[in-house]
Amino acid sequence: MPIRSILAGCGGYLPARIVTNDELARTVDTSDEWIRERTGIRERHFAAPHETAAFMGTAAARAALADAGATPDDVDCIILATTTPDQAFPATALRVQAALGVTRGFGFDLAAACAGFIYGLSVADGMIRTGQCKGALVIGSEVYSRILNWQDRGTCVLFGDGAGAVFLRGSTDADAETRGVLSTHIHAQGTLGDILYVDGAVGQPDKPGHLVMNGREVFRHAVTRLAEAVDEALAANGMTHQDVDWLVPHQANSRIITAMGRKLHLPPERVVVTVDRHANTSAASVPLALAEARADGRIRNGDLVVLEALGGGLTWGSALVRL
């Protein structure tokens, strides 16, 4: 019987500090009304100095392992999606490996911006299916508050910090034929890289290292590309919109989320939304939203869930998962 990746546990971590729109408006030329009308965001979490991508990723990973009834001894692969790593190297994933006490296997970081978690899920699923690992942590952890341009009110109000994680376990049990990661679909279009990027890196010390975004262009591509990726996932599994129980989308903008829900013919109560409280946490947003909906009992075992995200690159993708 072929190996299937079972999504055994979910976990999340949010910094303690909550920053409301009104608080931002004291230092940024903006207002609560302006932000809410355009994005749906009311507040976000900002990391304290000690809350790095590794710190938050470790906390989310511990929660995912606990949810799965697993221990660090069950982990032999850690894939951490981030564009705000603690260091150029070693990989943030290896800092998490050390903090968890995982003594075997391997780990690495993956950079695909806001689509990073979907990319990481796809890579981990492939490794489990081919027998390269048996237990994989896939983590999205981001500290965007440290790369924002506070003079650009169009972008600095959109993002927050946090981490989310899932633990995948390889299984050949009979129910694995219908459960787990059914398929993943990832894409990229490098010619659109200049509509959403960070102006700087370790190799460009003369750059400020701030996020730059053409919001109108990103929005224009987002709904089209994400709808295509979701339809691709359903078609690959011989399913239709009517089969979907839940949509867990990238939490970038309430208008994009609403548009995706409509395209799937899902009522609002079947679309997981955290953007109002978390803002855009990039690669962390999908696993954070999934962890919340699992923890509060909305998403249950047996539910068919669509995950999707789009980020700078452009990168985008979808995953179809039976919990």
Token pair 């603690």 in the structure block, residue:
86
Last residue of a domain, one of 119, 147, 174: 174
b/e for 170-187, b at 16 or more Cβ within 10 A? bbeeeebeebbbbbbbbb
Residue 114 annotated among the catalytic residues of the structure: yes
Last residue of a domain, one of 147, 174, 201: 174
Same domain, 154 and 222: no
Residue 280 annotated among the catalytic residues of the structure: yes
Cβ partners under 8 Å of residue 72, min gap 6: 65, 100, 101, 102, 103
Same domain, 198 and 163: no
What is the chain's alpha carbon radius of gyration, rounded to the nearest angstrom? 18
Last residue of a domain, one of 174, 203, 228: 174
- Say what the pLDDT of residue 208 is: 85
Same domain, 302 and 197: yes
- Say what the pLDDT of residue 125 is: 98
- Say what the pLDDT of residue 66 is: 98
The domain of 315 spans 180-322
Q: Which of 10, 114, 133, 156 is catalytic?
A: 114
Residue 77 annotated among the catalytic residues of the structure: no
- Say what the pLDDT of residue 275 is: 98
Beta pairing class for 4-13 and 161-171: antiparallel
CATH of the domain at 282: 3.40.47.10
Can you give the pTM of this predicted structure? 0.97
The answer to whether 306 and 244 are in contact (CB under 8 A) is yes
Per the structure, how many domains does the chain have?
Answer: 2
Among 158, 143, 168, CA closest to 84: 143
Same domain, 137 and 236: no
Q: What is the mean pLDDT of each run of 10 residues along the chain (323 residues)?
A: 94 98 96 96 98 98 98 98 96 98 97 98 98 98 96 95 98 82 98 94 82 93 94 97 96 94 91 98 98 98 98 97 97
Peptide bond into 314 cis (omega under 30): yes
- Say what the pLDDT of residue 57 is: 98
Q: Which of 45, 185, 250, 278 is catalytic?
A: 250
- Say what the pLDDT of residue 76 is: 96
Same domain, 271 and 122: no
Same domain, 159 and 15: yes
The one-character DSSP state at 159 is B
Among 253, 262, 258, 272, CA closest to 311: 253
- Say what the pLDDT of residue 52 is: 98
